C-alpha cells in the first residue's frame, strides 16, 4: 500500500516536471564559469531562459546535505538575486551502486556587466554618474541581504554580475549550486582570475589554502576593484602584485585620481576609496554601505543628481554603525525612506512539501523599486507604462511624489 502511494506520487512529480519543461526548448549544454556544466533552455513564448543543473549524490548523507543547502537558498528572496525555481530528486540504480540525482532548475541570465563594459571600451563611452550610483545600489542591497543571512558572495567581478532583460543586476553567490568554488579557490587551482583582497592575495602568494579573513570585508574589496573597472573601463588587475602578494597602493591612488579627473564627483571617488582600504577592519560592512545608499535612495532610483560639489558636508552627518568610521570626507543628504517591499518570485514547482526553514531569517526592511543599468547594445526592448525623461547630463532635477515613484530604466534615460 505504501509503495503504491510512493509510486503514484513519483509519477505525479514526473508529470509536473515534464509539463514544466514543455514551456521551454533546449538550447545547448554549457560549461558556465560560475555554475559549471548546465543545460540551457529558452522559453517558447518570451526571451527568458532557465538552466538545469544535475547534482549526483552517492549516499543518503550527501543527499541530505544537498537538499538542505537548496532549501536554505530557496528562501533567499531578493529582486537582485538569481532565484531557484524548482528542485527534483530521483533515484538512479546501477549494477555497482545506488545513487540519487538532484535536478535543480534556476533562472539564467546570459548578459553580464563584463559584456556591457566591453561594448563601452571601443569607442570609450563612460557611464554617467547617476547610472553608476544605480549600479552601486543594485549590488549593495543584495549583498547586505546576504550578509544578514551569513552568506558571502565569494567572487565579485564583472563577469559574475548578471543582467536581466531590463538591465537590472542579478547576483549568485559562489555556492549557489552546492560544490561551487569561490574566487580564491579558483586562483589557487589556476582556474580563473579574481579580485582578491590584500589578505587573500598574500595567502595566494604563499599558496595557503586556509586563509583567515573576514569574507564579507573581502567581498567589499572585490566590489571596490570592480567599481574601479566600471568607472575607468579598464581592468584593475595591474593593482595586484602577485609576485609579492600585495596591493599596489600607489596604483590604486593613481586610478582614484583618474576617476576624479574623468569628471566623477568627490563623493563617488571617496565612496570607492572606502571600499579599497588595505586594512580589513577599516573597510565598511555591507550594512554600512547600505546605510549610505539609504540616504540618497529616492534620488538614485530616479536618476536625480545629488552629488554636486556645492553640497559637501561633514562626514559625521552620514549615518554609519558605531563600529565603522569613514576614512574620507563624504557628501551628505537628508535621510531617505525605503520605497517598497520585495517582489515574490513565482513558485513553479517543488518536490518537498513546504520545507521548514533551517534557521530563522530576520525581518528585512522593504526593498526599493528596481531600476536598470544601461544596455549599450540597445537590442532588447521592454514595454514600460510610464517613462521619466531625464537628460544624460542629469542637469534637471525631476521631482516625483514618494507615494507614486515611477520606474525608469537607464537604457531609456540614455536614449532620450
pLDDT at 11: 54
Query: Looking at residues 234-248, what average pLDDT do you find?
Result: 94
Instruction: List the one residue out of 353, 355, 374 whose CA is nearest residue 128.
Output: 374
pLDDT at 326: 59
* Nine cell digits for residue 318: 552620514
Residue 319, pLDDT above cutoff 90: no
pLDDT at 99: 78
What does the alpha-carbon distance between residue 348 and residue 23 come to, in Å, rounded to a whole number? 12
Helix H or strand E segment including 241: strand 240-241
Query: Looking at residues 85-106, what average pLDDT do you find?
Result: 77
pLDDT at 384: 30
Residue 344, pLDDT above cutoff 70: no
Residue 398, pLDDT above cutoff 70: no
* Nine cell digits for residue 78: 531578493
pLDDT at 95: 41
pLDDT at 177: 95
Residue 284, pLDDT above cutoff 60: yes
Model confidence at 190, in pLDDT bands (50, 70, 90)? confident
Q: Does residue 228 have a cis bond before it (omega within 30 degrees)?
A: no
For residue 50, count other CB atoms closer than 10 A to its CB: 21
Helix H or strand E segment including 102: strand 98-108
* Nine cell digits for residue 371: 531600476
Model confidence at 8, in pLDDT bands (50, 70, 90)? low
What does the alpha-carbon distance between residue 376 and residue 371 come to, in Å, rounded to a whole number? 16
Residue 402, pLDDT above cutoff 80: no
Q: How many residues does the chain have?
A: 416
Give the predicted TM-score (pTM) of the model.
Answer: 0.75
What does the alpha-carbon distance between residue 191 and residue 189 come to, in Å, rounded to a whole number? 5
pLDDT at 90: 80
Question: Angle 285-288-289 (CA atoms, 0-180°, nearest 5)?
Answer: 90
What does the alpha-carbon distance between residue 142 and residue 134 come to, in Å, rounded to a whole number? 13
pLDDT at 107: 96
The better pLDDT of the pair 294, 356 is held by: 294
Mean pLDDT (the chain, rounded)? 77
Question: Three-class SS of residue 108?
Answer: strand
What does the alpha-carbon distance between residue 118 and residue 375 come to, in Å, rounded to a whole number? 11
Question: Which residue is it, cell 553567490?
Answer: 173
Summarised one tens digit per residue, pLDDT across range 128-186 is 999 999 999 999 999 999 999 999 999 999 999 999 999 999 999 999 999 999 899 99
The better pLDDT of the pair 127, 312 is held by: 127
Q: Tell me the helices (H) and strands (E) count for the chain, helix number first.
A: 11, 10
Cβ contacts of 42 within 8 Å, gap of 6 or more = 24, 25, 27, 48, 49
What does the alpha-carbon distance between residue 372 and residue 118 come to, in Å, rounded to a whole number? 18
Query: Looking at residues 3-14, what average pLDDT do you find?
Result: 55
pLDDT at 275: 98
* Nine cell digits for residue 199: 589578505
Sheet containing 98-108, strands listed edge to edge, beginning at the edge strand earlier in sequence? 24-32, 36-43, 49-57, 98-108, 84-93
Cβ contacts of 60 within 8 Å, gap of 6 or more = none
Helix H or strand E segment including 135: helix 129-148
Model confidence at 2, in pLDDT bands (50, 70, 90)? very low
Query: Looking at residues 101-113, what average pLDDT do you find?
Result: 95
Residue 370, pLDDT above cutoff 70: no
Least confident of 44-48, 281-285, 299-303, 381-385: 381-385
Question: Which residue is it, cell 573601463?
Answer: 233
pLDDT at 108: 97
Instruction: List the one residue out of 74, 56, 76 whose CA is nearest residue 66.
Output: 56
> Could you give the percent of the chain with pLDDT greater than 70?
69
Residue 64, pLDDT above cutoff 80: yes
Question: Angle 131-135-141 (CA atoms, 0-180°, nearest 5)?
Answer: 140
pLDDT at 132: 97
Query: Looking at residues 247-260, what average pLDDT do you find?
Result: 96
What does the alpha-carbon distance between residue 230 and residue 228 come to, in Å, rounded to a whole number? 5
The better pLDDT of the pair 76, 96 is held by: 76
Model confidence at 324, in pLDDT bands (50, 70, 90)? low
Residue 188, pLDDT above cutoff 50: yes
Question: Which residue is it, cell 545600489?
Answer: 137
Residue 18, pLDDT above cutoff 90: no
Query: Looking at residues 392-410, what average pLDDT do you find?
Result: 37
* Nine cell digits for residue 138: 543594485
Residue 300, pLDDT above cutoff 60: yes
Query: Looking at residues 370-383, what average pLDDT do you find?
Result: 39
What does the alpha-carbon distance between residue 403 and residue 243 come to, in Å, rounded to a whole number? 55
Least confident of 203-207, 268-272, 304-308, 323-327: 323-327
Amino acid at each position: 500500500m505504501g509503495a503504491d502511494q510512493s509510486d503514484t506520487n513519483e509519477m505525479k512529480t514526473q508529470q509536473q516536471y515534464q509539463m514544466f519543461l514543455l514551456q521551454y526548448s533546449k538550447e545547448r549544454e554549457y560549461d558556465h564559469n560560475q555554475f559549471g556544466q548546465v543545460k540551457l533552455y529558452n522559453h517558447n513564448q518570451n526571451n527568458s531562459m532557465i538552466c538545469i543543473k544535475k547534482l549526483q549524490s552517492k549516499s543518503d548523507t550527501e543527499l541530505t546535505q544537498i537538499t538542505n543547502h537548496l532549501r536554505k537558498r530557496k528562501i533567499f528572496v531578493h529582486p537582485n538575486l538569481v532565484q531557484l525555481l524548482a528542485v527534483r530528486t530521483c533515484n538512479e540504480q546501477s549494477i555497482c551502486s545506488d545513487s540519487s540525482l538532484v535536478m535543480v532548475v534556476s533562472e539564467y541570465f546570459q548578459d553580464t556587466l563584463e559584456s556591457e563594459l566591453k561594448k563601452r571600451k571601443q569607442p570609450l563611452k563612460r557611464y554617467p554618474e547617476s547610472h553608476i550610483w544605480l549600479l552601486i545600489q543594485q549590488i549593495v542591497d543584495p549583498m547586505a541581504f546576504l550578509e544578514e543571512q551569513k552568506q558571502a558572495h565569494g567572487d565579485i567581478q564583472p563577469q559574475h554580475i548578471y543582467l536581466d532583460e531590463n538591465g537590472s543586476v542579478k547576483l549568485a553567490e559562489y555556492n549557489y549550486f552546492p560544490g561551487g568554488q569561490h574566487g580564491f579557490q579558483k586562483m589557487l587551482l589556476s582556474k580563473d582570475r579574481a579580485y582578491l583582497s590584500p589578505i587573500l592575495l598574500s595567502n595566494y602568494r604563499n599558496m595557503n589554502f586556509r586563509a583567515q579573513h573576514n569574507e564579507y570585508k573581502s567581498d567589499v574589496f572585490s566590489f571596490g576593484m570592480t567599481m574601479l573597472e566600471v568607472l575607468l573601463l579598464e581592468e584593475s588587475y595591474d593593482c595586484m602584485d602577485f609576485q609579492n602578494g600585495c596591493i599596489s597602493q600607489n596604483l590604486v591612488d593613481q586610478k582614484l585620481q583618474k576617476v576624479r579627473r574623468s569628471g566623477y564627483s568627490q563623493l563617488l571617488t571617496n565612496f570607492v576609496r572606502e571600499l579599497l582600504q588595505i586594512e580589513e577592519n577599516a573597510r565598511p560592512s555591507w550594512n554600512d554601505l547600505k546605510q549610505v545608499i539609504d540616504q540618497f535612495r529616492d534620488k538614485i532610483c530616479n536618476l536625480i543628481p545629488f552629488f554636486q560639489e556645492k553640497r559637501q558636508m561633514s562626514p559625521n552627518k552620514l549615518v554609519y554603525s558605531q563600529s565603522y568610521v569613514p576614512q574620507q570626507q563624504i557628501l551628505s543628504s537628508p535621510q531617505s525612506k525605503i520605497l517598497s517591499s520585495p517582489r515574490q518570485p513565482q513558485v513553479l514547482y517543488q518536490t518537498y512539501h513546504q520545507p521548514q526553514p533551517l534557521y530563522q531569517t530576520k525581518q528585512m526592511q522593504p526593498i526599493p523599486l528596481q531600476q536598470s543599468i544601461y544596455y549599450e547594445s540597445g537590442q532588447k526592448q521592454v514595454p514600460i507604462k510610464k517613462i521619466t525623461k531625464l537628460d544624460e547630463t542629469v542637469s534637471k532635477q525631476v521631482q516625483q511624489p514618494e507615494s507614486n515613484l515611477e520606474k525608469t530604466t537607464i537604457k531609456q534615460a540614455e536614449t532620450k
